[in-house]
Amino acid sequence: MSSTIAELLRLTMSGNYIERVYAKEVRAFKEISVEFSKGFNFIAGENGVGKTSILAIISHCTNIRSFTESKFTENSELHFDAIHNNERIRCGHGEGSIKIGGYREDTLRLHNTPSDKGAENRRLLHAYELESKKINLSPLFIGAVRSISYLGLEGIKKENNKVHCQNQYRQASTMSLINGSGTSVKQWIINRYFIIDKGWAWEEKNNFEHFTSRLAKLAPFDSDFKYVDTGRDMEPVFELHGKKCYLEQLSSGFQSVLTIVTSIIEWIEKCNDEGSRDIRTASGTVIIDELDAHLHPEWQLRIRDGLEVIFPNVQFIVTTHSPHLIASAKENEVIVMRKSDDDTYDLKAESKSYSGWTTDQILKDVMGVKGLDNKLYAVLIDDAFDKLADKDIRALEESIVNLEKVTHPDDTICMVLRTKLAGLKAVSDEDIATVMMDTRGVVKSSLAARPTRGRVKSSLVARPTRGRAKSSLVARPTRGRARFDLTDKPAKEIEDETTEVTKPFDDLKVTD
């Protein structure tokens, strides 16, 4: 093998991460296979399709005490393929490893190693061997329930040894997904405050400085979130929007993010040897159920990049219901899970990015949300277009007003309807102007055509007609009042007086 190929292989295999998970007859799955990328992996899909079950399967592969939390059969098999310290490993439980007892009493019967099918050049390990052979394959599991823990301050807690910590993380993995877990943020910050000046705590000090200097990357835009200090009263102080605040005063979103980040830092420092605890270079797999929980949409757009800045070499496998998180993902990071009729799945990341998709498009096509359209909105639109087809100006205007009450100010359909309404009004005004011109012409012609005797005066009066009970305008001679002198006055004066007579028609409204 050439040195170039060997180097490429080394770079590809560097770090610790999960490549693939497989399960047969576990939970609701008949069979499932999921491929993961080395960086971020967002598992998305409709509710109840099995997103969290994938995370639970990974937990079962490393934990021999977690079987009461899932449904198995005696033919169940589950494992994951991983890269660990440049070695290819398959870890889990082979077929026949689980004995079926009573309700929630499934237990291990045989330590059958996973199947070697498709596992060329991989070391096969049963889950119990991770503990007995001291192999550091201990993903961090963070459940959907997250909050800052306010435990009684116990001073500086003694650090446990690395192997003990690895076993603790493996054993707590499934329950962390179900019940939630998290570092006591307050305790962690206070512990850090006391040790960072010690000569032996150089890694802890560097990690704390790296974390606090990048807090703004995790927060919503323009929030200017930063750590200030820990006071003499042992209260960590932060600054948000230019104002100082205590840990307890932060929103649930800030609490959630701080819990995630401090949990990851603590996990890295506890599960690695001295000299390998730098969070900028440490690798491993962090598994988070519902990463978007408690986060404002603007924050959801930022959290992915913020985590990557602080932990550039950590693999993240997360579930989400957020279209904003999906929009923040890059190519080959989104795994779309759609319901299978036979409960069989073969999943891998989509090769595209969803950054240009609208929220509605992601909700419908990625999350499987049905019935997203607003029924009232649809009814109002149909009503407005009916009025438009009838060319009923007044009714159309009323429909548009009702529609604008429930839509965004920039709604495209409302804009189109407003344009159509303006067009109808313009056409209507032209029709009225044409009628008025025709009316003036009739009056002038009638006045000019009538013969006069001497100084006979004419006026326009309304008189009833026979047959149909309507009024008509006719020109007839009148006695007494002289309106038009058609014999002695110049033509220009006659035209002016005619105009005076027709003025009342200028405001005439034409209706059907």
pLDDT at res. 110: 53
- 395-451 pLDDT per residue, tens: 999 999 998 988 888 888 888 888 888 888 887 766 666 655 655 565 456 555 555
Q: DSSP letter for 43, please.
A: E
Kindly give, in sequence order, each residue whose CB lies less than 8 Å from that of residue 224, ignoring residues fewer than 6 positions away.
Answer: 216, 239, 240, 241, 242
Q: pTM for the full model?
A: 0.69
* Mean predicted confidence (pLDDT) in 198-224: 89
Q: Is there a contact between 332 and 349 (Cβ–Cβ < 8 Å)? A: yes
Kindly give, in sequence order, each residue whose CB lies less than 8 Å from that of residue 161, ignoring residues fewer than 6 positions away.
Answer: none
Q: For a pLDDT cut of 90, what percent of the chain falls above it? A: 27
pLDDT at res. 187: 87
Continuous H helices in 133-234: 162-171, 173-179, 185-195, 202-212, 215-218
* Mean predicted confidence (pLDDT) in 158-162: 56
Q: Is there a contact between 89 and 123 (Cβ–Cβ < 8 Å)? A: yes
pLDDT at res. 442: 53
The pairing of beta strand 17-26 with beta strand 29-35: antiparallel
- 363-373 pLDDT per residue, tens: 888 888 776 56
pLDDT at res. 111: 61
Domain ranges of the chain: 13-365, 376-507
Cα 75 from Cα 406, distance rounded (Å): 55
pLDDT at 209 over 50: yes
Cα 210 from Cα 281, distance rounded (Å): 12
For the ranges 81-85, 157-161, 371-375, 400-404, the lowest mean pLDDT is seen at 157-161
pLDDT at res. 359: 86
Q: Where residue 456 falls among pLDDT bands split at 50, 70, 90?
A: very low
Mean pLDDT over each residue of the chain, to the nearest integer:
76
pLDDT at 337 over 80: yes
- 251-269 pLDDT per residue, tens: 888 888 998 999 999 999 9
The hierarchical CATH code for the domain 13-365 is: 3.40.50.300
pLDDT at res. 459: 45
pLDDT at res. 67: 58
Which residue, 157, 216, 141, 224, is CA-closest to 192?
Answer: 157
Q: Where residue 512 falls among pLDDT bands split at 50, 70, 90?
A: very low
pLDDT at res. 473: 45
pLDDT at res. 448: 59
Q: Is there a contact between 350 and 334 (Cβ–Cβ < 8 Å)? A: yes
- 107-153 pLDDT per residue, tens: 555 566 677 776 666 777 766 676 656 666 788 988 877 654 444 44
Helix/strand/coil for 103 = coil
